Amino acid sequence: MIMRKENNKKLVLTGLLIGLIFAELDETVVSTAMPTIIRELHGLSLYGWVAGIYMLALTMFMPILGKLADLYGRKRVYLSCMALFMTGSIVSGLAPSMTMLLVGRGIQGIGAGGLMPLALVIIGDTYPLEQRAKIQSLFGPMMILPQLLGPTVGGYMVGHVNWHWVFLINIPIGLIAAAFMYIGMRETRSDEKRTIDWAGAFTLILALLSLLLAPVLIDNNGLSWSSPIIIGMLVLSALFVALFIWIESKVQEPIIPLHLFRNRNVVVLSLLVLILMLGLMGGIATFPFFAQNVMGLTPTAAGYLMLAFMAGAIPSSILNGFLITRIPYRNLFITCFSLPIVGFILLSQIGISTTVLYIVLTFFVLGLGIGALFGGDNLIIQESVDKEHSGVALGTVQLFQSLGATIGLSIFGSLLARHIKNGVAGLADQLPTGKAENIATGGIPSGLEPDLLVKIQTVFADSFQNIFTISLGFVIAAFFICWFLKKEVLTKREEPDQAVLSVH
């Protein structure tokens, strides 16, 4: 595959940004519209699977699509992913039943699994290192735009049009993004015949499916991590992983080349994002529940508290984008990842008298620390592996990040529910009949006596202190993992400004 100089960089970047923003926007818009969709399709029992099947598909296909892009060209595979995302949107938008909606969401998830990693690879092939560092440092912060617009767009669609357009609006936007990419990106591929490791791909999908179905079943079917079904699925996943490693060691063109795990930066950053997402997402994603029940904020206000996180992450990301080509990136990561430790120490002290200002400052500190990851880890990976493996390397690291987030959300959600349920059990005789069982998931009922309300809010505060203390352990581990990065400055390689950049 050869990337030529006549690429229209502005068109390529515009197409990538439009595609990514709307793929991200889809998630928040759909979550806003879900109550209406569930009501019309009579699918309450399958509510959690709408998000679950999307994340399953997205996570499973990330490294596979990255490898296909390495083999057959970034442009062809990226446009195919965009086509899959639009096809899934059509199926979802026209779905007459929850079953068809789940099929559509699965197709959307497969397409989305290639959009982010391949966008970063294409930018890596198109821009020289210093420009790329600045561009990729803005990618993470730009993804906050869908989080802000999603509830508004979803609410408008449901209220003034109908829920079908929540999905169908992706079609014209996707076509525009695809047109920019098709016109702006020039790519010629070698005629060399490449083989696909179908056995490895199938085994990887089975391994990830067995692993990721566990938290989905726990969240949606009321199972626990100690149930025989869940333990059996985890054991099955481990067996498939062992089989996958054996297959990859034998084939000529492995889906995930095992030599990637001899690369120090790939291993360290995979561990870093896995551990960090386990602790960070598990703790932070449950915070709106605290904000609403203990601090008394509305759901909207609780959601917008996360803006404080982005207020710290955006300048940190931009600054790191400028510095990462000038000073050793290990020093940057060590400095930045000391801040989440401070943030979670502060969060582990929250109580019923915690103020909004305290939370805003805490989230701002967290954002300053995590901002180093917005583009930084992807840039280091791209510069640590051969160009011909950049797609699968990025897909693999993002796979570990997605695994950490998915499993962390489930584990921490289960822990939080159990702590609250145990804490409220002693107050069950003072609560309305049947309310004690629902508080852990449904929140504190209204109309309680002030003394009883304070007691229940104290249970919530103690439960969240426990959760954030566990998260603190994870971010401390992430801080020490940063010390194993190479102590080097990202330096320029052969750049795409030259007449021809050979990728294969």
Written as one letter, the residue type at 309 is F
Q: Are residues 103 and 237 in the same domain?
A: no
Q: Are residues 313 and 176 in the same domain?
A: no
- Residue 501 to residue 499: CA distance in whole angstroms: 7
pLDDT at site 344? 93
pLDDT at site 88? 92
Q: Are residues 123 and 167 in the same domain?
A: yes
Contact 488, 347 (CB under 8 A): no
Cα angle value 19/24/30 (rounded, 5°): 120
Number of separate domains in the chain = 3
Query: 3-state DSSP call for residue 4?
Result: strand
Distances (CA, A) of 85 to 3, 114, 274: 25, 10, 26
> Which residue among 186, 217, 252 closes a domain?
252
- Residue 130 to residue 137: CA distance in whole angstroms: 11
Q: Are residues 230 and 294 in the same domain?
A: no
Q: Are residues 49 and 132 in the same domain?
A: yes
pLDDT at site 424? 76
Cα angle value 494/482/306 (rounded, 5°): 100
Q: Are residues 56 and 140 in the same domain?
A: yes
Contact 468, 354 (CB under 8 A): no
Q: Are residues 104 and 232 in the same domain?
A: no
pLDDT at site 480? 94
Distances (CA, A) of 175 to 19, 183, 386: 9, 12, 32
Q: Are residues 428 and 473 in the same domain?
A: yes
Decide: pTM greater than 0.85: no
Q: Are residues 372 and 464 in the same domain?
A: yes
For the chain (504 residues), the mean pLDDT of every run of 10, in chain order, is 59 83 75 76 71 81 83 85 92 87 90 83 77 71 65 71 81 88 75 74 88 77 79 91 90 84 89 89 78 78 77 84 84 90 92 89 90 76 80 83 82 81 73 64 70 82 90 93 86 48 36
Q: What CATH number is associated with residue 91?
A: 1.20.1250.20
Q: Are residues 74 and 169 in the same domain?
A: yes
Strand partners, 4: 500
Domain of residue 220, residue span: 197-252
Q: Are residues 276 and 232 in the same domain?
A: no
Q: Are residues 181 and 290 in the same domain?
A: no
